[in-house]
Structure 1
Amino acid sequence: MSIGIRNKKEIDSLRKPNQIVAQTLELLKNNAQEGVTLLELDKMAEDFIRSFSARPAFKGLYGFPNAVCISVNDVIIHGIPTDYSLKDGDIVGFDVGVEFDGWYGDAAISVGVGKISSKDFELIACAKDSLYQAIDNIKIGLRFKELSKIIEESILKKGFVPLRGFCGHGIGRRPHEEPQIPNYLESTMTISGPKIKEGMVFCLEPMICQKDGEPKILDDKWSVVSVDGLNGSHYEHTIAIVDGKAEILTEI
Protein backbone atom coordinates (compact mmCIF):
# COMPACT_ATOMS: atom_id res chain seq x y z
CA MET A 1 0.00 0.00 0.00
CA SER A 2 1.31 3.46 -0.90
CA ILE A 3 1.86 6.29 1.56
CA GLY A 4 -0.73 9.04 1.30
CA ILE A 5 0.26 12.53 0.18
CA ARG A 6 -2.04 15.26 1.50
CA ASN A 7 -2.55 18.67 -0.04
CA LYS A 8 -2.76 21.75 2.17
CA LYS A 9 -6.57 21.69 2.26
CA GLU A 10 -6.51 18.10 3.49
CA ILE A 11 -3.88 18.93 6.10
CA ASP A 12 -6.08 21.80 7.25
CA SER A 13 -8.88 19.23 7.69
CA LEU A 14 -6.53 17.16 9.85
CA ARG A 15 -5.82 20.08 12.17
CA LYS A 16 -9.22 19.95 13.90
CA PRO A 17 -9.17 16.35 15.18
CA ASN A 18 -5.53 16.69 16.16
CA GLN A 19 -6.19 19.85 18.15
CA ILE A 20 -9.05 18.08 19.95
CA VAL A 21 -6.57 15.29 20.77
CA ALA A 22 -4.11 17.83 22.17
CA GLN A 23 -6.76 19.53 24.31
CA THR A 24 -8.04 16.18 25.57
CA LEU A 25 -4.54 15.15 26.64
CA GLU A 26 -4.14 18.46 28.48
CA LEU A 27 -7.44 17.79 30.28
CA LEU A 28 -6.32 14.30 31.28
CA LYS A 29 -2.90 15.53 32.41
CA ASN A 30 -4.51 18.15 34.66
CA ASN A 31 -6.88 15.60 36.20
CA ALA A 32 -4.45 12.70 36.69
CA GLN A 33 -4.47 13.06 40.46
CA GLU A 34 -4.44 10.72 43.41
CA GLY A 35 -7.87 9.17 44.02
CA VAL A 36 -9.36 9.59 40.54
CA THR A 37 -10.28 6.35 38.77
CA LEU A 38 -9.27 5.41 35.24
CA LEU A 39 -12.93 5.07 34.25
CA GLU A 40 -13.62 8.59 35.52
CA LEU A 41 -10.79 9.91 33.37
CA ASP A 42 -12.02 7.92 30.37
CA LYS A 43 -15.55 9.34 30.68
CA MET A 44 -14.18 12.85 31.16
CA ALA A 45 -12.21 12.52 27.94
CA GLU A 46 -15.06 11.01 25.95
CA ASP A 47 -17.50 13.72 27.06
CA PHE A 48 -14.96 16.38 26.15
CA ILE A 49 -14.31 14.91 22.70
CA ARG A 50 -18.02 14.59 21.95
CA SER A 51 -18.58 18.22 23.00
CA PHE A 52 -16.84 19.14 19.71
CA SER A 53 -19.21 16.86 17.72
CA ALA A 54 -16.20 14.60 17.30
CA ARG A 55 -15.83 10.90 18.07
CA PRO A 56 -13.30 9.01 20.23
CA ALA A 57 -11.59 7.06 17.45
CA PHE A 58 -10.34 4.19 19.61
CA LYS A 59 -13.75 3.25 21.01
CA GLY A 60 -14.68 0.07 19.15
CA LEU A 61 -11.51 0.14 17.01
CA TYR A 62 -10.41 -3.50 16.63
CA GLY A 63 -12.80 -4.17 19.53
CA PHE A 64 -11.20 -1.77 22.06
CA PRO A 65 -13.92 -1.07 24.68
CA ASN A 66 -13.15 2.48 25.82
CA ALA A 67 -12.43 5.98 24.57
CA VAL A 68 -8.83 6.30 25.79
CA CYS A 69 -5.96 3.86 26.24
CA ILE A 70 -4.90 4.45 29.85
CA SER A 71 -1.73 2.60 30.83
CA VAL A 72 -0.52 2.60 34.44
CA ASN A 73 3.02 1.82 35.64
CA ASP A 74 4.23 -1.40 33.97
CA VAL A 75 1.55 -1.20 31.26
CA ILE A 76 3.27 0.61 28.41
CA ILE A 77 0.47 0.86 25.83
CA HIS A 78 -3.14 -0.16 25.18
CA GLY A 79 -4.27 -0.20 28.82
CA ILE A 80 -8.02 -0.60 29.33
CA PRO A 81 -9.58 1.88 31.81
CA THR A 82 -10.83 0.22 35.00
CA ASP A 83 -12.05 1.34 38.42
CA TYR A 84 -8.42 1.51 39.61
CA SER A 85 -7.79 4.73 41.58
CA LEU A 86 -4.53 6.52 40.84
CA LYS A 87 -2.04 6.60 43.69
CA ASP A 88 0.83 8.88 44.60
CA GLY A 89 3.92 7.69 42.74
CA ASP A 90 2.06 6.11 39.82
CA ILE A 91 2.96 6.94 36.25
CA VAL A 92 0.14 6.89 33.72
CA GLY A 93 0.07 7.02 29.93
CA PHE A 94 -2.84 8.46 27.97
CA ASP A 95 -3.25 7.63 24.27
CA VAL A 96 -6.07 9.54 22.57
CA GLY A 97 -7.51 9.21 19.08
CA VAL A 98 -10.19 11.47 17.60
CA GLU A 99 -12.22 11.33 14.39
CA PHE A 100 -13.80 14.53 13.09
CA ASP A 101 -15.50 14.82 9.71
CA GLY A 102 -13.76 11.68 8.46
CA TRP A 103 -10.23 12.73 9.48
CA TYR A 104 -8.18 11.32 12.35
CA GLY A 105 -5.84 12.61 15.03
CA ASP A 106 -3.67 10.67 17.49
CA ALA A 107 -1.21 11.46 20.28
CA ALA A 108 -0.06 10.20 23.67
CA ILE A 109 1.65 11.42 26.83
CA SER A 110 2.95 9.86 30.04
CA VAL A 111 2.69 11.76 33.33
CA GLY A 112 3.50 11.23 36.99
CA VAL A 113 0.98 11.28 39.83
CA GLY A 114 2.25 13.20 42.84
CA LYS A 115 5.89 12.46 43.66
CA ILE A 116 7.40 9.83 41.36
CA SER A 117 10.77 8.11 41.55
CA SER A 118 13.81 9.55 39.80
CA LYS A 119 13.93 6.46 37.56
CA ASP A 120 10.31 7.00 36.46
CA PHE A 121 11.05 10.67 35.84
CA GLU A 122 13.94 9.64 33.56
CA LEU A 123 11.72 7.05 31.88
CA ILE A 124 9.07 9.61 30.97
CA ALA A 125 11.71 12.13 29.88
CA CYS A 126 13.25 9.49 27.60
CA ALA A 127 9.98 8.97 25.70
CA LYS A 128 9.36 12.69 25.31
CA ASP A 129 12.93 13.68 24.48
CA SER A 130 13.35 10.84 21.96
CA LEU A 131 10.16 11.92 20.21
CA TYR A 132 11.23 15.56 19.94
CA GLN A 133 14.76 14.66 18.87
CA ALA A 134 13.30 12.61 16.02
CA ILE A 135 10.97 15.44 15.02
CA ASP A 136 13.86 17.92 15.03
CA ASN A 137 15.72 15.68 12.55
CA ILE A 138 12.88 15.24 10.07
CA LYS A 139 13.57 16.57 6.59
CA ILE A 140 12.38 15.79 3.10
CA GLY A 141 14.38 12.91 1.64
CA LEU A 142 15.14 11.29 4.99
CA ARG A 143 14.21 7.61 4.92
CA PHE A 144 11.79 6.32 7.53
CA LYS A 145 14.40 3.71 8.45
CA GLU A 146 16.80 6.54 9.24
CA LEU A 147 14.13 8.07 11.46
CA SER A 148 13.74 4.74 13.27
CA LYS A 149 17.50 4.68 13.83
CA ILE A 150 17.44 8.19 15.31
CA ILE A 151 14.69 7.19 17.75
CA GLU A 152 16.44 3.97 18.76
CA GLU A 153 19.81 5.62 19.29
CA SER A 154 18.20 8.34 21.41
CA ILE A 155 16.48 5.74 23.62
CA LEU A 156 19.60 3.62 24.03
CA LYS A 157 21.75 6.65 24.81
CA LYS A 158 19.46 7.42 27.75
CA GLY A 159 19.92 3.92 29.15
CA PHE A 160 16.58 2.43 28.11
CA VAL A 161 15.34 0.18 25.29
CA PRO A 162 12.46 0.46 22.80
CA LEU A 163 9.41 -1.79 23.05
CA ARG A 164 9.50 -4.19 20.12
CA GLY A 165 6.64 -5.34 17.94
CA PHE A 166 4.76 -2.01 17.96
CA CYS A 167 5.34 1.13 15.91
CA GLY A 168 4.35 4.56 14.70
CA HIS A 169 2.21 4.85 11.59
CA GLY A 170 0.64 6.97 8.91
CA ILE A 171 -2.70 8.63 9.61
CA GLY A 172 -5.39 10.48 7.67
CA ARG A 173 -8.72 9.07 6.53
CA ARG A 174 -8.01 6.03 8.68
CA PRO A 175 -6.46 5.90 12.16
CA HIS A 176 -3.65 3.63 10.98
CA GLU A 177 -2.16 3.92 7.50
CA GLU A 178 1.17 3.27 5.82
CA PRO A 179 4.01 3.55 6.62
CA GLN A 180 4.80 1.55 9.73
CA ILE A 181 7.53 3.35 11.69
CA PRO A 182 9.27 1.18 14.31
CA ASN A 183 11.22 2.79 17.14
CA TYR A 184 14.20 0.60 16.25
CA LEU A 185 16.00 -0.74 13.21
CA GLU A 186 15.10 -4.28 12.23
CA SER A 187 18.37 -4.49 10.26
CA THR A 188 21.48 -2.34 9.94
CA MET A 189 20.41 -1.14 6.49
CA THR A 190 19.00 2.38 6.32
CA ILE A 191 19.49 3.00 2.58
CA SER A 192 16.28 1.31 1.46
CA GLY A 193 12.58 1.93 1.91
CA PRO A 194 10.38 5.00 1.51
CA LYS A 195 11.54 8.55 2.00
CA ILE A 196 9.74 11.42 3.72
CA LYS A 197 7.96 13.67 1.23
CA GLU A 198 5.98 16.90 1.25
CA GLY A 199 2.39 16.27 2.33
CA MET A 200 3.00 13.10 4.32
CA VAL A 201 1.26 12.84 7.70
CA PHE A 202 2.36 10.29 10.27
CA CYS A 203 2.59 9.49 13.97
CA LEU A 204 5.85 8.93 15.83
CA GLU A 205 5.48 7.23 19.20
CA PRO A 206 8.49 6.07 21.22
CA MET A 207 7.50 3.29 23.66
CA ILE A 208 10.11 2.81 26.35
CA CYS A 209 11.14 -0.21 28.41
CA GLN A 210 13.77 -0.28 31.12
CA LYS A 211 15.73 -3.48 30.46
CA ASP A 212 13.99 -5.74 27.95
CA GLY A 213 12.02 -4.63 24.88
CA GLU A 214 10.24 -7.97 24.46
CA PRO A 215 6.48 -7.37 24.82
CA LYS A 216 3.93 -9.40 26.74
CA ILE A 217 0.18 -8.99 26.34
CA LEU A 218 -1.83 -9.40 29.54
CA ASP A 219 -4.95 -11.50 30.06
CA ASP A 220 -7.26 -8.63 29.06
CA LYS A 221 -5.87 -9.16 25.51
CA TRP A 222 -4.91 -5.48 25.22
CA SER A 223 -2.49 -4.24 27.89
CA VAL A 224 1.14 -4.48 26.75
CA VAL A 225 3.97 -4.78 29.27
CA SER A 226 7.65 -5.66 29.03
CA VAL A 227 8.76 -9.12 30.06
CA ASP A 228 11.08 -7.35 32.52
CA GLY A 229 7.98 -6.42 34.58
CA LEU A 230 9.18 -2.84 35.08
CA ASN A 231 7.44 0.48 34.43
CA GLY A 232 7.33 1.85 30.90
CA SER A 233 6.45 5.10 29.15
CA HIS A 234 4.99 6.36 25.86
CA TYR A 235 4.82 9.65 23.96
CA GLU A 236 3.30 10.37 20.54
CA HIS A 237 2.61 13.23 18.14
CA THR A 238 0.96 13.49 14.74
CA ILE A 239 3.28 15.26 12.30
CA ALA A 240 2.60 16.77 8.87
CA ILE A 241 5.25 17.75 6.35
CA VAL A 242 4.29 21.29 5.32
CA ASP A 243 6.50 23.57 3.21
CA GLY A 244 9.38 21.16 3.68
CA LYS A 245 9.21 21.18 7.48
CA ALA A 246 7.75 18.95 10.20
CA GLU A 247 4.68 20.55 11.77
CA ILE A 248 3.31 18.99 14.98
CA LEU A 249 -0.48 18.88 14.60
CA THR A 250 -1.08 17.63 18.16
CA GLU A 251 0.61 20.49 19.98
CA ILE A 252 -1.48 23.20 21.61
Structure 2
Amino acid sequence: MSSHRGASRRPSLPSFLSGLGRAPGASGPDGSAGPRPRPMVRLKSPREITLMRDAGRVVAKALAEARKLAVPGATTADMDEAVAAVFREHDAQPLFLGYPCSTKGKPPFPAVICSSVNEHVVHGIPNKRPLREGDVVSIDTGCKVGGWCGDSAVTLAIGAIPPDVQKLLDVTSETLALAIRAMGRCRYWSEVASLMEQYVKSQGFHVIEKFVGHGIGQDMHEEPQVPNFVSKALRKNDIRLEPGIVLAVEPMVAMGTKDVRTLDDGWTVETKDRRPSAHFEHTIAMTPEGPRVLTLLED
Protein backbone atom coordinates (compact mmCIF):
# COMPACT_ATOMS: atom_id res chain seq x y z
CA MET A 1 0.00 0.00 0.00
CA SER A 2 1.49 3.30 -1.06
CA SER A 3 2.26 6.15 1.28
CA HIS A 4 0.55 9.47 0.70
CA ARG A 5 3.19 12.05 -0.21
CA GLY A 6 3.70 15.02 2.31
CA ALA A 7 8.48 -9.90 -11.52
CA SER A 8 9.99 -10.30 -14.83
CA ARG A 9 13.61 -10.31 -15.95
CA ARG A 10 15.38 -7.18 -14.87
CA PRO A 11 16.45 -5.13 -17.89
CA SER A 12 19.78 -3.39 -18.00
CA LEU A 13 19.69 0.39 -17.79
CA PRO A 14 18.76 2.02 -21.11
CA SER A 15 21.91 3.21 -22.86
CA PHE A 16 20.96 6.90 -22.57
CA LEU A 17 20.67 6.52 -18.79
CA SER A 18 23.56 4.15 -18.10
CA GLY A 19 26.05 6.85 -17.16
CA LEU A 20 23.82 8.45 -14.54
CA GLY A 21 23.98 5.77 -11.85
CA ARG A 22 27.17 5.98 -9.83
CA ALA A 23 28.72 3.00 -8.14
CA PRO A 24 28.70 2.84 -4.34
CA GLY A 25 31.31 5.18 -2.90
CA ALA A 26 30.88 7.86 -5.56
CA SER A 27 29.82 11.39 -4.77
CA GLY A 28 26.17 12.27 -4.42
CA PRO A 29 24.06 13.58 -7.32
CA ASP A 30 24.92 17.16 -6.43
CA GLY A 31 28.64 16.33 -6.70
CA SER A 32 29.34 16.53 -2.98
CA ALA A 33 31.32 13.81 -1.24
CA GLY A 34 30.35 14.61 2.33
CA PRO A 35 27.46 13.17 4.40
CA ARG A 36 23.94 14.50 3.88
CA PRO A 37 20.92 14.87 6.11
CA ARG A 38 18.62 11.88 5.90
CA PRO A 39 15.45 10.59 7.52
CA MET A 40 15.78 8.44 10.63
CA VAL A 41 15.84 4.93 9.21
CA ARG A 42 16.01 1.73 11.22
CA LEU A 43 18.43 -0.63 9.49
CA LYS A 44 17.58 -4.33 9.55
CA SER A 45 20.03 -7.08 10.46
CA PRO A 46 20.63 -10.06 8.14
CA ARG A 47 18.46 -12.17 10.46
CA GLU A 48 15.63 -9.63 10.33
CA ILE A 49 15.83 -9.49 6.54
CA THR A 50 15.52 -13.28 6.47
CA LEU A 51 12.40 -13.01 8.63
CA MET A 52 10.98 -10.39 6.25
CA ARG A 53 11.62 -12.82 3.40
CA ASP A 54 9.11 -15.20 5.00
CA ALA A 55 6.41 -12.54 4.77
CA GLY A 56 7.52 -11.70 1.23
CA ARG A 57 7.04 -15.28 0.05
CA VAL A 58 3.48 -15.32 1.40
CA VAL A 59 2.70 -12.04 -0.38
CA ALA A 60 4.15 -13.43 -3.61
CA LYS A 61 2.08 -16.60 -3.31
CA ALA A 62 -1.05 -14.54 -2.66
CA LEU A 63 -0.46 -12.41 -5.77
CA ALA A 64 0.11 -15.58 -7.80
CA GLU A 65 -3.35 -16.77 -6.74
CA ALA A 66 -4.89 -13.40 -7.67
CA ARG A 67 -3.18 -13.60 -11.07
CA LYS A 68 -5.06 -16.85 -11.80
CA LEU A 69 -8.31 -14.88 -11.56
CA ALA A 70 -7.26 -12.16 -14.00
CA VAL A 71 -9.79 -13.29 -16.62
CA PRO A 72 -13.01 -11.82 -18.01
CA GLY A 73 -15.93 -12.54 -15.72
CA ALA A 74 -13.94 -12.79 -12.50
CA THR A 75 -14.32 -10.10 -9.88
CA THR A 76 -11.92 -8.24 -7.64
CA ALA A 77 -13.96 -9.61 -4.72
CA ASP A 78 -12.95 -13.09 -5.93
CA MET A 79 -9.31 -11.99 -5.91
CA ASP A 80 -9.68 -10.58 -2.41
CA GLU A 81 -11.01 -13.89 -1.10
CA ALA A 82 -8.24 -15.85 -2.85
CA VAL A 83 -5.57 -13.67 -1.21
CA ALA A 84 -7.30 -13.88 2.17
CA ALA A 85 -7.28 -17.69 1.89
CA VAL A 86 -3.51 -17.69 1.33
CA PHE A 87 -3.00 -15.47 4.35
CA ARG A 88 -5.16 -17.77 6.50
CA GLU A 89 -3.23 -20.81 5.29
CA HIS A 90 0.05 -19.24 6.43
CA ASP A 91 -1.30 -17.64 9.63
CA ALA A 92 -0.39 -14.26 8.14
CA GLN A 93 -1.94 -11.01 9.34
CA PRO A 94 -3.36 -8.88 6.48
CA LEU A 95 -1.86 -5.41 6.59
CA PHE A 96 -4.57 -3.56 4.68
CA LEU A 97 -7.72 -4.90 6.35
CA GLY A 98 -8.88 -2.34 8.90
CA TYR A 99 -6.19 0.22 8.01
CA PRO A 100 -7.47 3.64 9.15
CA CYS A 101 -8.50 6.16 6.53
CA SER A 102 -6.71 9.51 6.35
CA THR A 103 -10.01 11.21 5.45
CA LYS A 104 -11.93 12.19 8.56
CA GLY A 105 -15.20 10.32 8.95
CA LYS A 106 -14.43 7.62 6.39
CA PRO A 107 -14.27 3.94 7.40
CA PRO A 108 -11.12 1.82 7.64
CA PHE A 109 -10.07 -0.14 4.58
CA PRO A 110 -12.48 -3.10 4.25
CA ALA A 111 -10.43 -5.70 2.36
CA VAL A 112 -7.09 -7.53 2.24
CA ILE A 113 -6.19 -6.24 -1.24
CA CYS A 114 -6.38 -2.90 -2.99
CA SER A 115 -7.84 -3.52 -6.44
CA SER A 116 -7.60 -0.52 -8.77
CA VAL A 117 -9.20 -0.92 -12.21
CA ASN A 118 -8.33 1.12 -15.31
CA GLU A 119 -8.21 4.82 -14.36
CA HIS A 120 -8.04 3.93 -10.65
CA VAL A 121 -4.44 4.35 -9.49
CA VAL A 122 -4.26 2.94 -5.97
CA HIS A 123 -6.37 1.94 -2.95
CA GLY A 124 -9.38 0.68 -4.92
CA ILE A 125 -11.88 -1.36 -2.90
CA PRO A 126 -12.73 -4.87 -4.21
CA ASN A 127 -16.25 -5.36 -5.53
CA LYS A 128 -18.43 -7.83 -7.41
CA ARG A 129 -18.39 -6.10 -10.82
CA PRO A 130 -17.24 -8.67 -13.39
CA LEU A 131 -13.96 -7.71 -15.02
CA ARG A 132 -14.22 -7.20 -18.78
CA GLU A 133 -11.92 -7.93 -21.67
CA GLY A 134 -9.59 -4.96 -22.03
CA ASP A 135 -9.59 -3.94 -18.36
CA VAL A 136 -6.37 -3.61 -16.38
CA VAL A 137 -6.35 -4.12 -12.62
CA SER A 138 -3.67 -3.29 -10.07
CA ILE A 139 -3.60 -5.73 -7.15
CA ASP A 140 -1.69 -4.48 -4.11
CA THR A 141 -1.44 -6.48 -0.88
CA GLY A 142 0.68 -7.05 2.18
CA CYS A 143 0.88 -9.22 5.26
CA LYS A 144 2.80 -9.66 8.50
CA VAL A 145 4.41 -13.01 9.38
CA GLY A 146 6.28 -13.49 12.64
CA GLY A 147 6.11 -9.77 13.34
CA TRP A 148 7.60 -8.67 9.99
CA CYS A 149 5.91 -7.21 6.91
CA GLY A 150 5.90 -7.75 3.17
CA ASP A 151 4.17 -5.54 0.57
CA SER A 152 3.91 -5.95 -3.20
CA ALA A 153 1.74 -5.00 -6.19
CA VAL A 154 1.24 -6.00 -9.80
CA THR A 155 -0.95 -4.66 -12.61
CA LEU A 156 -2.70 -7.35 -14.64
CA ALA A 157 -4.29 -7.31 -18.08
CA ILE A 158 -7.75 -8.84 -18.41
CA GLY A 159 -7.69 -10.59 -21.78
CA ALA A 160 -6.44 -8.61 -24.76
CA ILE A 161 -5.72 -4.94 -24.07
CA PRO A 162 -4.89 -2.09 -26.48
CA PRO A 163 -1.20 -1.79 -27.47
CA ASP A 164 -0.78 1.60 -25.79
CA VAL A 165 -2.10 0.21 -22.51
CA GLN A 166 0.18 -2.81 -22.81
CA LYS A 167 3.10 -0.42 -23.27
CA LEU A 168 2.02 1.39 -20.09
CA LEU A 169 2.16 -1.87 -18.13
CA ASP A 170 5.50 -2.85 -19.65
CA VAL A 171 7.09 0.53 -18.95
CA THR A 172 5.86 0.58 -15.34
CA SER A 173 7.14 -2.95 -14.71
CA GLU A 174 10.45 -2.11 -16.35
CA THR A 175 10.71 1.04 -14.21
CA LEU A 176 10.57 -1.10 -11.07
CA ALA A 177 13.12 -3.54 -12.49
CA LEU A 178 15.36 -0.63 -13.48
CA ALA A 179 15.15 0.75 -9.94
CA ILE A 180 16.14 -2.57 -8.41
CA ARG A 181 19.08 -2.86 -10.74
CA ALA A 182 20.15 0.74 -10.09
CA MET A 183 20.02 0.28 -6.31
CA GLY A 184 23.10 -1.91 -6.67
CA ARG A 185 25.13 0.80 -8.39
CA CYS A 186 23.88 4.04 -6.81
CA ARG A 187 24.73 5.46 -3.42
CA TYR A 188 21.64 7.61 -2.85
CA TRP A 189 17.96 7.08 -3.61
CA SER A 190 17.73 10.39 -5.51
CA GLU A 191 19.98 8.88 -8.19
CA VAL A 192 17.62 5.93 -8.56
CA ALA A 193 14.54 8.18 -8.56
CA SER A 194 16.11 10.30 -11.30
CA LEU A 195 16.63 7.24 -13.48
CA MET A 196 13.04 6.11 -12.90
CA GLU A 197 11.58 9.51 -13.71
CA GLN A 198 13.68 10.01 -16.83
CA TYR A 199 12.85 6.55 -18.16
CA VAL A 200 9.10 7.03 -17.67
CA LYS A 201 9.19 10.43 -19.39
CA SER A 202 11.29 9.05 -22.26
CA GLN A 203 8.48 6.57 -22.98
CA GLY A 204 5.81 9.29 -23.12
CA PHE A 205 4.21 8.62 -19.73
CA HIS A 206 4.03 10.46 -16.40
CA VAL A 207 5.09 9.57 -12.85
CA ILE A 208 2.28 10.02 -10.35
CA GLU A 209 3.77 12.15 -7.58
CA LYS A 210 1.06 12.30 -4.92
CA PHE A 211 1.76 8.76 -3.70
CA VAL A 212 5.16 7.25 -3.02
CA GLY A 213 6.87 4.15 -1.69
CA HIS A 214 8.05 3.77 1.89
CA GLY A 215 10.32 2.07 4.34
CA ILE A 216 8.98 -1.20 5.75
CA GLY A 217 9.81 -3.57 8.59
CA GLN A 218 7.80 -4.41 11.68
CA ASP A 219 5.32 -1.78 10.50
CA MET A 220 4.04 -1.47 6.95
CA HIS A 221 4.83 2.25 6.70
CA GLU A 222 8.18 3.27 8.16
CA GLU A 223 10.59 6.06 7.35
CA PRO A 224 11.71 7.02 4.79
CA GLN A 225 9.22 8.05 2.12
CA VAL A 226 10.48 6.72 -1.22
CA PRO A 227 9.42 8.89 -4.20
CA ASN A 228 9.73 7.79 -7.82
CA PHE A 229 10.83 11.28 -8.89
CA VAL A 230 13.35 13.89 -7.78
CA SER A 231 12.43 16.98 -5.79
CA LYS A 232 14.20 19.56 -3.67
CA ALA A 233 12.85 17.84 -0.58
CA LEU A 234 14.41 14.53 -1.61
CA ARG A 235 17.76 16.10 -2.39
CA LYS A 236 17.72 17.84 1.00
CA ASN A 237 16.83 14.66 2.89
CA ASP A 238 18.26 11.95 0.69
CA ILE A 239 18.27 8.23 1.46
CA ARG A 240 21.61 6.48 1.63
CA LEU A 241 21.41 3.01 0.04
CA GLU A 242 23.34 1.06 2.64
CA PRO A 243 23.12 -2.55 3.84
CA GLY A 244 20.14 -3.04 6.13
CA ILE A 245 17.79 -0.52 4.57
CA VAL A 246 14.51 -2.10 3.38
CA LEU A 247 12.22 -0.20 1.02
CA ALA A 248 8.85 -0.81 -0.61
CA VAL A 249 9.55 0.59 -4.08
CA GLU A 250 6.38 1.19 -6.10
CA PRO A 251 6.32 3.21 -9.31
CA MET A 252 2.87 4.47 -10.30
CA VAL A 253 2.70 5.63 -13.91
CA ALA A 254 -0.11 7.40 -15.78
CA MET A 255 -0.87 7.39 -19.47
CA GLY A 256 -2.14 10.95 -19.35
CA THR A 257 -2.06 13.46 -16.52
CA LYS A 258 -0.18 12.76 -13.30
CA ASP A 259 -2.91 14.63 -11.39
CA VAL A 260 -5.22 12.48 -9.26
CA ARG A 261 -8.24 12.80 -6.99
CA THR A 262 -9.72 10.66 -4.21
CA LEU A 263 -13.28 9.42 -4.65
CA ASP A 264 -16.09 9.80 -2.15
CA ASP A 265 -15.34 6.43 -0.52
CA GLY A 266 -12.24 8.07 0.97
CA TRP A 267 -9.91 5.46 -0.52
CA THR A 268 -10.04 5.01 -4.29
CA VAL A 269 -7.65 7.32 -6.14
CA GLU A 270 -8.16 7.93 -9.86
CA THR A 271 -6.47 9.98 -12.56
CA LYS A 272 -8.24 13.27 -13.18
CA ASP A 273 -8.42 12.64 -16.91
CA ARG A 274 -9.71 9.09 -16.25
CA ARG A 275 -7.08 7.50 -18.48
CA PRO A 276 -5.40 4.26 -17.36
CA SER A 277 -2.52 3.97 -14.92
CA ALA A 278 -0.30 1.11 -13.73
CA HIS A 279 1.36 0.21 -10.43
CA PHE A 280 4.08 -2.34 -9.59
CA GLU A 281 5.80 -2.85 -6.24
CA HIS A 282 8.38 -5.00 -4.48
CA THR A 283 9.88 -5.01 -1.01
CA ILE A 284 13.65 -4.71 -1.48
CA ALA A 285 16.44 -5.12 1.07
CA MET A 286 19.92 -3.73 0.60
CA THR A 287 22.56 -6.33 1.54
CA PRO A 288 26.36 -6.30 1.25
CA GLU A 289 25.91 -8.30 -1.95
CA GLY A 290 23.44 -5.80 -3.40
CA PRO A 291 19.64 -5.41 -3.57
CA ARG A 292 17.54 -8.45 -2.70
CA VAL A 293 13.87 -8.68 -3.67
CA LEU A 294 11.94 -10.13 -0.73
CA THR A 295 8.51 -10.43 -2.38
CA LEU A 296 9.25 -13.23 -4.83
CA LEU A 297 8.36 -16.91 -4.61
CA GLU A 298 11.97 -17.82 -5.41
CA ASP A 299 15.24 -15.99 -4.89
TM-score (norm 2): 0.81
Aligned to 1:205: 250
Aligned to 2:44: 6
Amino acid at match of 1:154: Y
Residues 192, 174 of structure 1: CA spacing in aligned structure 2 closer, same or farther, 3 A cutoff? Answer: closer
3-state DSSP of counterpart to 2:243 = coil
1:97-108 aligned at under 5 Å gives the runs 97-108=142-153
Deviation at 1:66, TM superposition (A): 0.4
- How many Å separate the matches in 2 of 1:189 and 1:176? 18
Aligned to 1:50: 88
- How many Å separate the matches in 1 of 2:160 and 2:238? 44
Q: For each residue in 1:16-63, what CA deviation from the matched residue of structure 2 results, as whole angstroms up to 9, or x when unmatched?
A: 111101111111112111111111111111011111011111101122
> Based on CA coordinates, which of the two structures has the bigger radius of gyration?
2
TM-score (norm 1): 0.96
> Which sections of structure 1, spanning at least 5 residues, go unmatched?
none
The equivalent position to 1:222 in structure 2, one of 267, 283, 289, is 267
Q: For each residue in 1:87-108, what CA deviation from the matched residue of structure 2 results, as whole angstroms up to 9, or x when unmatched?
A: 1111011001111111100000
- 1:194 matches 2:194: no
C-alpha contact 1:146 1:190 (8 A) present in aligned 2? no
C-alpha contact 1:143 1:191 (8 A) present in aligned 2? no
Q: For each residue in 1:198-229, what CA deviation from the matched residue of structure 2 results, as whole angstroms up to 9, or x when unmatched?
A: 11111110001112111111111111111121
- How many Å separate the matches in 2 of 1:139 and 1:236? 17
Amino acid at match of 2:194: K
- 1:79 matches 2:124: yes
- How many Å separate the matches in 2 of 1:156 and 1:18? 30
Please provide the CA RMSD for this pair: 1.5
The equivalent position to 2:56 in structure 1, one of 18, 37, 40, is 18
> Which sections of structure 2, spanning at least 5 residues, go unmatched?
1-38, 101-107
Deviation at 1:187, TM superposition (A): 3.2
Q: For each residue in 1:156-207, what CA deviation from the matched residue of structure 2 results, as whole angstroms up to 9, or x when unmatched?
A: 1111001121101100010011110111112398475231111111111000
- How many Å separate the matches in 2 of 1:52 and 1:163? 34
Segments ≥4 residues shifted beyond 4 Å: 188-192
- How many Å separate the matches in 2 of 1:241 and 1:172? 13
Aligned residues: 252
Aligned to 1:155: 200
- How many Å separate the matches in 2 of 1:45 and 1:38? 11
Aligned to 1:248: 293
Identity in percent: 31
Amino acid at match of 2:176: L
- How many Å separate the matches in 1 of 2:49 and 2:185? 17
The equivalent position to 1:138 in structure 2, one of 146, 159, 183, is 183
